[in-house]
Amino acid sequence: MGQLFSAKNGEVVAPKKQRSAFLLLGFLLLFALICAALGAIIIAGLWQGLNDLFYGFLRSISDSIREANGG
């Protein structure tokens, strides 16, 4: 039986319930899943941005070479 009487202010308090380890594990798993999804979205966005930047840079160089060759 839990402590029903609080010595601080003389109130009757409900006993503390033991939280299930499975509930904590479930929340941890959900948090990890959300973090993984956000990380994947961020990495995909960075990858796409760097890809566009790289191909834009190559296109710029090839256009400059084409113009330098008169054409």
- What digits encode the pLDDT tens for the residues 3-59? 565 556 666 666 666 678 889 999 999 999 999 999 999 999 999 999 999 999 999
Residue 42 lies in a domain: yes
5, β-bridge pairs:
12
Residue 10 lies in a domain: no
Range of the domain at 55: 36-71
Whether pTM > 0.75 for this model: the answer is no
Residue 44 lies in a domain: yes
Burial 3-27 (b: 16+ CB within 10 A, else e): eeeeeeeeeeeeeeeeeeeeeeeee
- Asked whether residue 2 carries a pLDDT value surpassing 90, the answer given is no
The Cα–Cα gap between 9 and 4 comes to 12
Give the chain's domain count.
Answer: 1
The pLDDT, as a whole number, for residue 45 is 95
Residue 46 lies in a domain: yes
Residue 58 lies in a domain: yes
Residue 2 lies in a domain: no
- Asked whether residue 65 carries a pLDDT value surpassing 70, the answer given is yes
Tell me, what amino acid is at 28? L
